[in-house]
Amino acid sequence: MIIRGGRPLKGSVVTQGAKNAALPVMASALLLRGGRLTLERVPDLRDIHTMADLLRHLGAEIAFGGGRMTIDVPDELKWETPANLVRGMRASSLVLGPLVARCGRAVLPLPGGCAIGSRPIDFHLKGLARMGAEIDLEQGSVHARTNGLSAARLYLDFPSVGATENMLMAAALTPGESVIENAAREPEISNLARALRSMGASVEGDGAGTIRVAGTRDLRSAAVEIIPDRIEASTYLLAGVMTRGEVTVTDIEPEYLQALVFKLEEAGIPPGVSDDSVSVSCAGRSWNGITLKTLPYPGFPTDLQPQIMAALCMAEGTSVIHESVFDSRYVHVAEFKRMGGKIDIQGNTVVVTGVRKLTGAEVHASDLRAGAALILMGLAAEGDTVVRGLKHVWRGYERLMEKMTSLGADIELMRDDRSED
Ligand code: UD1
């Protein structure tokens, strides 16, 4: 992508459905035995298509268009997942819980995904083992089998989003009461809980640290709406900040953006918040350096760390960012420096010294959110920026070219690598 920077973005964008909510809800369809799950507001993204292909491989029939997806699940499912689909996306591990609960078996090559540190799935496996599954690792694949899971009390060492989702789905189809302690509290977990409730499971406590699930073998067809994507919305707001523009994101639940709103207030540029929109107005303004730490929800999201770091590169004064969710999520720093960012990494902490201007350069996106942050850097920089490695960005941002252009960004695709691996 070639970005001709220095133009303030102005206008409003409609928030897409949340990728990270749609993926687990899609996986939960596997719990149905001869039923249909209908999803509304599904974003048209590469990761969504990868999950759809994975579900098709397992036996589901899927129709998708205009934000609506129907997943028809047959009586019999396959339980072996193909390496080519699973390696490309870490969220494919979300089929593990449903498959083990539904088929009593699953084979899953250890998944891939963004290059942001080591991302094991040991919590997922421990939880399933505690529910009675036998787990073996053979030639790089997880083999799980059981004659029937049992309800259990589960505890997560860290409130992992994916592990909470896998446990929740397995427990929904397992008769008896399961309890997940130290569960993740992300809004995406509550979206999944709503889907499971409408299928007939009893789920209580989602959004809090302890989730109780009374499972049933008789889950039924259901429909569910996907929540708005808080990371996409926040990315556009930060694009508005960085270009000293005026950007509104609509169709959002502002509560999901609370951590960002607090941090922008602290930086001296408080956003405007209404019932279903958030806006920033930064024409001619400057903002202060701040301190922040990424944490599980409701803390500041790690998926927004590269984008806020981009904005802090242009703050007045010094900022300190501590990444506490992932190791080595600072691959973008080297690229930021090429554009004039003054950043010092010390372990999982970075110190960012604000500069007056960034300059265009040729940079490479190493993962999804790093890619988004480099686009923000390019929009704010003087001169032209070329961002390579955009295939990561298409995994998470629907119609990004169209949305950015509608805000007045001068961007162009030199080569469309949307279909490349
Ligand atoms: C999800 C999001 C991802 C986001 C992340 C943290 C989806 C599809 N992806 O990823 O965008 O960055 O939450 O908000 O929803 N961990 C273990 N063992 C495990 C599981 C996790 O050690 O079994 C560690 C991870 O390495 C990481 C931390 O726990 O350091 C959080 O990971 P987790 O919440 O599981 O992230 P994901 O569900 O993979």
Q: Which of 103, 114, 282, 313 is catalytic?
A: 114
Examine the domain organization and report whether 413 and 288 are in the same domain: yes
Q: Which residue puts its alpha carbon closest to atom 29 of ligand 1?
A: 160
Residue 174 is classified by DSSP as S
Tokens of 24: 């687990």
Examine the domain organization and report whether 186 and 233 are in the same domain: no
Residue 318: Cβ-neighbour burial (10 angstroms; 0-12, 13-18, 19+): middle
Examine the domain organization and report whether 157 and 133 are in the same domain: yes
Of the candidates 173, 208, 225, which is a domain's last residue? 225
User: Given this model, what pLDDT does residue 110 score?
Assistant: 84
How many domains does the chain contain in total?
A: 2
- Which atom from ligand 1 is nearest to the alpha carbon of 113? 39
23 Cβ below 6 A of ligand 1: yes
284 C-alpha to center of ligand 1: Å?
38
325 C-alpha to center of ligand 1: Å?
8
90 Cβ below 6 A of ligand 1: yes
User: Given this model, what pLDDT does residue 415 score?
Assistant: 74
Pocket residue to mutate for ligand 1, from 42, 108, 125, 161, most atoms within 8 A of Cβ:
161
Of the candidates 203, 225, 247, which is a domain's last residue? 225
Tell me the chain's radius of gyration from C-alpha atoms.
Answer: 21
121 Cβ below 6 A of ligand 1: yes
Examine the domain organization and report whether 393 and 244 are in the same domain: yes
Examine the domain organization and report whether 301 and 364 are in the same domain: yes
**H, E, C per residue of 373-394:** HHHHHHHHCECEEEEECHHHHH
Provide the CATH number for the domain around residue 281.
3.65.10.10
Examine the domain organization and report whether 173 and 127 are in the same domain: yes
Range of the domain at 352: 2-15+228-419
Low-confidence ranges of the chain (pLDDT < 70): 112-119, 416-421
Q: Give the closest residue to 373 by CA, choosing from 3, 91, 11.
A: 3
Per the annotation, the verdict on 103 as an active-site residue is: no
36 C-alpha to center of ligand 1: Å?
28
Read off the pLDDT of residues 102-152 as tens digits, 9 standing for 90 and up: 999 999 998 764 454 456 899 999 999 999 999 998 888 999 999 999 999
Tokens of 112: 């891939």
- Which atom from ligand 1 is nearest to the alpha carbon of 297? 14
User: Given this model, what pLDDT does residue 417 score?
Assistant: 61
Of the candidates 194, 225, 256, which is a domain's last residue? 225
Residue with tokens 């789905």: 169
Q: Give the closest residue to 129 by CA, choosing from 144, 108, 112.
A: 144
Examine the domain organization and report whether 239 and 196 are in the same domain: no
Examine the domain organization and report whether 332 and 248 are in the same domain: yes
124 Cβ below 6 A of ligand 1: yes
**Three-class SS of residue 14?**
strand
Q: Are 363 and 335 spatial neighbours (Cβ–Cβ below 8 Å)?
A: yes
Examine the domain organization and report whether 66 and 204 are in the same domain: yes
Task: Report in angstroms the alpha-carbon separations of 34 from 31, 210, 256, 293, 317.
Answer: 9, 31, 35, 45, 59
Distance CA 237, CA 121 (A): 32
User: Given this model, what pLDDT does residue 373 score?
Assistant: 97
Examine the domain organization and report whether 212 and 250 are in the same domain: no
Examine the domain organization and report whether 286 and 221 are in the same domain: no
Tokens of 104: 């009593």
- Which atom from ligand 1 is nearest to the alpha carbon of 118? 26
Examine the domain organization and report whether 176 and 266 are in the same domain: no
